[in-house]
Amino acid sequence: MQEETIKDLLLKITDNGERKYDMIGTVININDNVCDVRLGTDEEDDLLLDVIINISSISSQKVIPVLGSQVIVSFLSYNKAYVSKFTQISKYTQTTNDAEGQQLLNLRHIFTTFSTDLLTALTNMTLPTPSGPSSPPFNLAEFQNLLNDFDTQLEKYYD
């Protein structure tokens, strides 16, 4: 395993003086807003340290890749590289100011209320038939499970 500076690595991997802008690698370590990426599949392949994970124009967004997942590393200069594409994300968070936060909470409330009401209506649905009202849906248990798990799923994705 070889640890190299970005400049050394870029000079090593360029073909006939052509510039490299992006490379595929595997995330092998994550530390806050940077990660270490192996640019190959073998232990002896080049290791790029301190690749910036979050370089969004929206500074309030934070994306964390899955350890061991593939990413595309883009080079800003000879001393800066960042993850420009993710194949797997372990966590996504977004912080907001008070007004944006209240707007997001209102949207979440509307979405939650609508979805809960929809699932409740589906579980209570009966249809008129020639022999009288229909029985509860055959997949009533699935709808009830969805309804019971809905809040848990929201908390999981809106951490």
Q: Give the domain CATH number at 81.
A: 2.40.50
**Cα dihedral angle (23, 91, 101, 82), rounded to 10 degrees?**
-20
Confidence of residue 58 (pLDDT cuts 50, 70, 90): low
Q: Which of 81, 72, 12 is nearest to 45 (CA)?
A: 12
* Co-location of 59 and 117 in the same domain: no
Q: Which domain holds residue 37?
A: 2-94
* Co-location of 19 and 89 in the same domain: yes
* Co-location of 13 and 60 in the same domain: yes
* More confident site: 11 or 58: 11
What whole-number percentage of the chain has pLDDT above 90? 9
Percentages helix, strand, coil for the chain (3-state, rounded to 5) are: 35, 35, 35
* Co-location of 8 and 30 in the same domain: yes
* Co-location of 89 and 140 in the same domain: no
Angle at 43 between CA 41 and CA 49, to 5 degrees: 90
Enumerate the β-bridge partners of residue 51. 35
